[in-house]
Amino acid sequence: MKSFILLVFGLVLSSNLSFSQKKAPKLLVGIIVDQMSYDYLYRYYSNFGKNGFKRLMDQGYNFRNVTYNYVPTYTGPGHASVYTGTTPSNHGIVANDWYQREYGRFVNCVEDTTVSAIGTASSSGRCSPHFLRANTITDQLKLTYPNAKVVGVSIKDRGAILPSGHMPDGAYWYDYSTGNFITSTYYSNVYPGWYGSFITANPISKYLGQTWELSKDSTLYTVRNDNSKYELPLGGKELPVFPYNFSDKSQAEQVGLFTATPFANTYLTDFAITAMKGENMGDDLTTDFLTISYSTPDIVGHEYGPYSLEIEDVYYRLDEELNKLFLALDKEVGKGNYVVMLSADHAVVPVPQYLTDHKLPGGYLFKDARLEELKALCMEEFQVDPILTVGNNNVYLKEEFLNHESTEAIIAFIQKEIEKWPEVKAVYSRDQLKSIPANNWQEMTAQGYDRERSGEIIYILQPGYLSKSEDTEESRKGTSHGSSFNYDTQVPALIYGLGKGDVYTPYEIIDLAATLVHVMNIQRPNAMTGKPMVEALVKSK
């Protein structure tokens, strides 16, 4: 009788386990493309293959009206927001780097001096999700199903670390001193066996030294000018033109320049597929989660801008990497057994000098000169310089002026002076960001504000403007991101494996994670504020 009861109990338990996983995929793959504008999907569509971006767009859900709902739109905050389903005001990653008062310096969003690097002597391995204050959907998956596998890979450390959360089975990023993928003791003291096999079969030398030429006939490209004055040439080239080959450089130089070529995307894809196989991801009924962040588009985009031949070719080649990834998923996990989400951590502003030359709004705020003027005005008004530093458009006051009898007067004065700058759209004090937002710009700034990590005053620039240290010929080439405007905030949002259709409902970037929790049948993580993208969930049932 006892054996019979145990047998029945076991059957019931198995039944409940199967039910809990009902319709949940064996593997969920989250892909973030670092610096991808929404319009790239359509600008380059005719030259994409059938099994990369087109597979996501035509056979999946294409959410065409998804935007970021905070500033600054940088890489660290973007990755954290996509995977926590909330904004920097809750998850704490307010920038890639911010001034940390307790350390008396700027810190990187994933640096961790309490851990050691594995696989390198470089300090670039001393990283972890130490500063991430909220749980990710990958954390929630591990909390719910401890046997679930979670692995994060990227060229950038933050692109691997923040998506995979606090308790993954591994997070790996590129080391600029060795050219290998590395990790830290936060995750493990040793590499898994599959890692050594990868390094043996795929040494970095296999990828270095290749010539980057156009991957298609030049007549097929939307961009025809390969020698734009708005671009910064790579690797000491005199002109920013194809082809690119750095085999004449030293090994160390090649390893550094490598990530600014599309071959770094190939390296990352090969590593991601090896990690998936090595960790046996998608092999059982428990959902596993592989996060991949392609960093090279951002590295190239900063140098050449969104209307360059280089960035166009990067996306054609990235399309081929997605094709390779899909073929591996079909073979290893099986069609219908996995879901792929693809989005971006931010988009990008057109090169401001290009805008002004073409009679469009835009320009530059040259920060160093403005800051010196501001400090002089403060000295004249208060007989002291209360400004500690400025970073990410945040003004930090010196410690002695944080709770001084003149603090509010100082903040009000600095705010009034910055408001006079023609390059600035709006300026907010720390108290204003605690109150009910008065408009969309203030709300977005408040959503990106953290009282411990942000400054006492935050300003946002006018549309089309970038902040640069000083006015030089080089500073007027290339571009960046970080604003509250649509060129930075509207990004692709694609989900493959649940059904298909174009969706025009307005959604925010934090809604992606709020959707994926229902795909995995798990609870919303602790600080999630996003809402489900119901079209995909209702139609997929």
Residues 163 and 291 grouped into a single domain: yes
Rounded CA-CA distance 172/187 in Å is 10
Give the SS3 label for residue 61.
strand
Order of all β-strands in the sheet with 387-391: 387-391, 394-397, 457-461, 424-429
CATH number for position 433: 3.30.1360.150
Residues 271 and 148 grouped into a single domain: yes
The DSSP code for 490 is: B
Instruction: Report if residue 3 sits inside a domain.
Output: no
Domain that includes residue 470, residue range: 356-476
Rounded CA-CA distance 210/310 in Å is 16
Residues 256 and 327 grouped into a single domain: yes
CA 440-441-445 angle, 5° bins: 115
Rounded CA-CA distance 394/497 in Å is 41
pLDDT at residue 5, as a whole number: 38
Give the SS3 label for residue 105.
strand
Residue 161 has which token pair?
């670390």
Residues 400 and 495 grouped into a single domain: no
Show which residues are catalytic.
Answer: 75
pLDDT in tens, 194-251: 999 999 999 999 999 999 999 999 999 999 999 999 999 998 899 999 999 999 999 9
pLDDT at residue 436, as a whole number: 65
Number of compact structural domains in the chain:
2
Name residue 244's amino acid. Answer: Y
Q: How far apart are the first and last CA of the chain?
A: 41
Name residue 241's amino acid. Answer: V
Instruction: Report if residue 2 sits inside a domain.
Output: no
* DSSP 3-state percent helix, strand, coil across the chain (nearest 5): 40, 15, 45
Residues 53 and 200 grouped into a single domain: yes
Residue 180 has which token pair?
């290998």
Residues 144 and 209 grouped into a single domain: yes
Evaluate the omega torsion of the peptide bond into residue 233 and state whether it is cis, within 30 degrees of 0: no
Q: Does the CA dihedral 189-193-198-201 come out positive or negative?
A: positive
Residues 167 and 272 grouped into a single domain: yes
Q: Torsion over CA of 440, 82, 430 and 352, rounded to 10 degrees?
A: -60
Is there a contact between 254 and 101 (Cβ–Cβ < 8 Å)?
Answer: no
Question: 22 CB contacts (<8 Å, ≥6 apart)?
Answer: 521
Continuous segment of H or E residues that includes residue 270: helix 263-278
Rounded CA-CA distance 132/160 in Å is 13
Residues 376 and 291 grouped into a single domain: no
pLDDT at residue 23, as a whole number: 78
Instruction: Report if residue 503 sits inside a domain.
Output: yes
Is there a contact between 537 and 518 (Cβ–Cβ < 8 Å)?
Answer: yes
Q: Sort residue 482 into left (φ over 0), alpha (ψ -120 to 50) or beta.
A: left
Residues 190 and 322 grouped into a single domain: yes
Instruction: Report if residue 506 sits inside a domain.
Output: yes
What is 332-386 written as a DSSP string?
Answer: HT-TTSEEEEEEES---PPPHHHHHHTT-S-EEEEHHHHHHHHHHHHHHHHSS--
Is there a contact between 24 and 287 (Cβ–Cβ < 8 Å)?
Answer: yes
Residue 18 has which token pair?
């199967």
Residue 48 has which token pair?
């994409």
Residues 235 and 336 grouped into a single domain: yes
Instruction: Report if residue 538 sits inside a domain.
Output: no
C-beta neighbour count of 150 within 10 angstroms: 26
Rounded CA-CA distance 307/300 in Å is 12
Instruction: Report if residue 380 sits inside a domain.
Output: yes
Residue 468 has which token pair?
């640069």
Is there a contact between 515 and 496 (Cβ–Cβ < 8 Å)?
Answer: no
C-beta neighbour count of 11 within 10 angstroms: 10
Instruction: Report if residue 223 sits inside a domain.
Output: yes
Instruction: Report if residue 280 sits inside a domain.
Output: yes
CATH number for position 291: 3.40.720.10
Give the SS3 label for residue 478.
coil
pLDDT at residue 540, as a whole number: 46
Place of tokens 């569509």: 45
Continuous segment of H or E residues that includes residue 324: helix 309-332
Residues 365 and 305 grouped into a single domain: no
Rounded CA-CA distance 39/30 in Å is 20
pLDDT at residue 9, as a whole number: 38
Please name which of 365, 395, 537, 370 lies closest in space to residue 457, comparing C-alpha atoms.
395
Burial class (CB in 10 A: 0-12, 13-18, 19+), 221: middle
pLDDT at residue 7, as a whole number: 41
Name residue 176's amino acid. Answer: Y
Residues 263 and 150 grouped into a single domain: yes
pLDDT at residue 482, as a whole number: 96
Q: Could you list the pLDDT tens digit for every one of the 541 residues in the chain?
A: 444 433 433 443 343 343 344 579 999 999 999 999 999 999 999 999 999 999 999 999 999 999 999 999 999 999 999 999 999 999 999 999 999 999 999 999 999 999 999 989 888 899 999 999 999 999 999 999 999 999 999 999 999 999 999 999 999 999 999 999 999 999 999 999 999 999 999 999 999 999 999 999 999 999 999 999 999 999 889 999 999 999 999 999 999 999 999 999 999 999 999 999 999 999 999 999 999 999 999 999 999 999 999 999 999 999 999 999 999 999 999 999 999 999 999 999 999 999 999 999 999 999 999 999 999 999 999 999 999 999 999 999 999 999 999 999 999 999 999 999 999 999 999 999 987 676 789 999 999 999 999 999 999 999 999 999 999 999 999 999 999 999 999 999 999 999 999 999 999 999 999 999 999 999 999 999 999 999 999 864 4
Question: 322 CB contacts (<8 Å, ≥6 apart)?
Answer: 31, 51, 52, 53, 55, 56
